[in-house]
Chains A and B, each alone.
Chain A
């Protein structure tokens, strides 16, 4: 479960979020939408503790994110799966190395790492590209590698920050189906997008931000 209470954040005096409150239940799929600059990415960055709020409180899976010590941040993030618009893959590592990166840090035996990587990459339809480098993949493939990487630790919560932003409509819908499958398997998904067609095609609870405020909390993409 994600609890967001009266969240505010500003940059150099310019407010990015103002008094946002919401709650996302375990296993729920939630779109986070709004125009550019509405505060979607800021909210997600606060959720995965890349930044601290000026005011308010965030609780993710029982963890008060704002009160995490620096040494606890990594362990917290390992419980989340985060997918970014620009994929954020490690360019000098192969697909399988990207996916197993955190497993290697956890000293998971190499055989188990490869087994788990194969499982998630197969789920993404990328089991044949395990030894490729990110630059050898299409945008859609890179994003699926990023999803595989996010999934490999079987997170309770997936946060996706405009993951379809660099994909064509067909790839976007394919990726959307993947997220829905992940959600059906019990993972909470918060999916930020400004693509209304995506929301209309895959109706779900939608939090709409506008100039840093939560303008709407409802079903589907209706205005």
Chain B
């Protein structure tokens, strides 16, 4: 890379000003958004929706005695199944451990107000039939399988991903348009200089490459910073985010998206540059 090229790129990045900053921010937001969605999706799929994961059926019963009897009936009928009885006090303690900031309020409520639960762990394939069987047992108030929340979660996740993808594409397209306009304005502003450069022997690539590199750099800065932020957020335990570490390949793809978008915008912007006859 020669000095002319570096100098032109530096100058063009400086000239891009506020519009260039907007392009950087748009790609930055798009990258972080896309990375976060991918990380959250990976976490939900691995932790909650994995087909290897066994299903849980939560059964609300009238009393601890009923729960113990039901567990006996269950384990004798289906020997491989594990089931746990949770007395109202245990339910209250479990809830308090989930929501420590309201543990005091939960403890203040009498244990009589909490239900007795029988939690049954079962293979996914048996979940539906076993839920139906349990719900017909005497003393059972409610039997709900994890499918009850898994299917809506899948729908919500699919919707969130589609929405996030649409927003990401919109932001990237917006960045491409901003880069296009920035490059077009610069090309028009530099028209005299470009003509002189041509007349004294500059090749088309000597003239065009700095604009392409500038466009790719603007968007690449955004995606690079975004990918770095994702790397830090997902790898540094101090942040404690429930994100699965994004694979390095994903981070690299996210980082590479910006330069490609910037390059495309700059290429379109350069269409304003007249060619030699």
Q: Are B4 and A104 in contact, CB atoms less than 8 angstroms apart?
A: yes
Q: Please tell me the size bucket of the interface on B.
A: 10 to 19
Interface presence of A102 (CB below 8 A):
yes
Tell me the minimal C-beta distance from A43 to chain B in angstroms: 15
Q: Is A110 an interface residue (CB 8 A)?
A: yes
B201 touches A78 (CB 8 A): yes
Known contacts A101-B4, A104-B2, A104-B4: does B276 contact A73 (CB below 8 Å)? yes
Q: Which of B190-198, B243-251, B258-266 contacts A (4 or more CB under 8 A)?
A: B190-198
Q: Check A82 for interface membership: any CB of B closer than 8 A.
A: yes
Best-surrounded residue of A71, A74, A91, A101 (most CB of chain B within 10 A): A74
Given the known inter-chain contacts A90-B196, A104-B2, A105-B2, please indicate yes or no for A70 contacting B201, CB distance below 8 A: no
Given A70-B275, A90-B193, A48 contacting B199 (CB threshold 8 A): yes
B203 adjacent to A110 (CB under 8 Å): no
Identify which of residues 76-125 in chain A touch chain B, using a CB-to-CB cut-off of 8 Å: 77-78, 82, 84, 88-92, 101-102, 104-105, 107, 110
Total A-B residue contacts, Cβ distance less than 8 Å? 61
Q: Is the CB of B199 within 8 A of A105?
A: no
**A52: CB under 8 A from chain B?**
yes
**List of A residues within 8 angstroms of B2 by Cβ:** 104-105, 107
Between A and B, 20 residue pairs with Cβ closer than 8 Å are A48-B199, A49-B276, A50-B199, A51-B277, A70-B276, A71-B203, A73-B276, A74-B204, A75-B203, A77-B199, A82-B200, A84-B199, A88-B195, A89-B196, A101-B4, A101-B197, A102-B200, A104-B2, A107-B2, A110-B3
> 10 closest pairs, A vs B, by CB?
A78-B201, A74-B203, A104-B4, A77-B201, A88-B196, A102-B201, A52-B277, A74-B201, A105-B206, A104-B3
Interface residues of B (CB under 8 A from A): 2-4, 11, 193, 195-204, 206, 275-277
